[in-house]
Structure 1
Amino acid sequence: MDWKIELIHVPVTDVDRAKEFYERIGFNPDHDQQVSDDVRFVQMTPPGSACSIAFGTGVGGTLEPGKQDTIQVVVPDADEALAHLRSVGAEAQGVDEQPWGRFVTFADPDGNSWTLQQLPAWSAGATG
């Protein structure tokens, strides 16, 4: 039986601001539904990913905005990812060289932080 992670909730304070930020860095806006007066659901997918993020009002868990810091995304080229993020106005730090990969970090407007990893060439499945 396959187990697939397909959706991760990212807590935000301003849904429109978060949607604009994620669109600006290249995420595809899959859904934006105002389900009721109290519930709005937004789902966005990073380019090439099988896993999406979701945020909105009246959705998600108990994590406070700005506290999500556990998402790591594999990219083929850390330098290219850093250049792209900076070219669209996202504050990104990197490239952090480690034996287990090259890392770029950035945060959304609420302070939720992301780590992008370029796998080392020796790693099985390395893309760069």
Structure 2
Amino acid sequence: MNLKLELIVLPVSDVDRARAFYEQAGFRLDLDKAANEQWRAVHLTPPGSEASIMFGSGLTSAAPGSVQGLYLITPDIDQARADLVGRGIAVSEVFHDDKGLVYHGHGGGGITHDGPGQGRVAGPHPERADYGSFATFSDPDGNGWVLQEVKNRAPGR
């Protein structure tokens, strides 16, 4: 069986504001369609991605900003961060983990670190290890994104 992630629905409070944010971040607009006053779908795709996001009216009952830990993989985290910042997007500084990599979504904050003594250390991973350097940003509602540097994907990916 071959399955690919195609679409993630994001809960937002203001569809036009969210559309403007994601277009500013460089996402490609694929669709903006309203069937009536209660239903509208906006579909956008991150640059270089095969998977997309969708938000709108009448699409989900989830609370705006409740989606966390959306990973965008990039071969050059410094360049990706600089591009987003140049587009006016507030992005954290690049960081790496001080111990093991155990991440999960956390309301309002993007990623968190589990276990004693684990946390964010300023700068990219010292060896620039794949999957080891991060930066975070959020959309206007607080849906949390993580940039992660990966030059060589794990086998089978």
TM-score (norm 2): 0.73
- 1:93 matched residue in structure 2: 92
Aligned length, in residue pairs: 123
Structure 1 unaligned blocks of 5 or more: none
Please, what is the CA RMSD of the aligned residues? 1.6
Based on CA coordinates, which of the two structures has the bigger radius of gyration?
Answer: 2
What is the SS of the residue equivalent to 1:93? coil
Residue in structure 1 matching 2:140, options 88, 109, 117: 109
Q: Which string of whole-angstrom CA distances, capped at 9 and with x for unpartnered residues, describes residues 56-85 of structure 1?
A: 00013x321111112111111110111111
Unaligned segments of structure 2, at least 5 residues: 98-124, 126-130
The answer on 1:56 being equivalent to 2:56 is yes
Report the Cα distance in structure 1 between the residues aligned to 2:92 and 2:72, rounded to whole angstroms.
15
How far does residue 124 in structure 1 lie from its aligned partner after superposition? Answer: 3.3
Aligned-partner SS, 2:94:
strand
Structure 1 segments (4+ residues) deviating >4 Å = none
Match of 1:124 in 2: 154
What do residues 11-50 of structure 1 show as CA deviations (whole Å, max 9, x unaligned)? 1111001001100110000000011221000100001101
Q: Which amino acid aligns with 1:69?
A: Q
TM-score w.r.t. the length of structure 1 is 0.89
Asked if structure 1 preserves the Cα contact closer than 8 Å seen for 2:75 and 2:151, the reply is: no
Q: What percentage of residue pairs aligned between the two structures are identical?
A: 44
User: Residue 97 of structure 1: CA displacement?
Assistant: 2.3
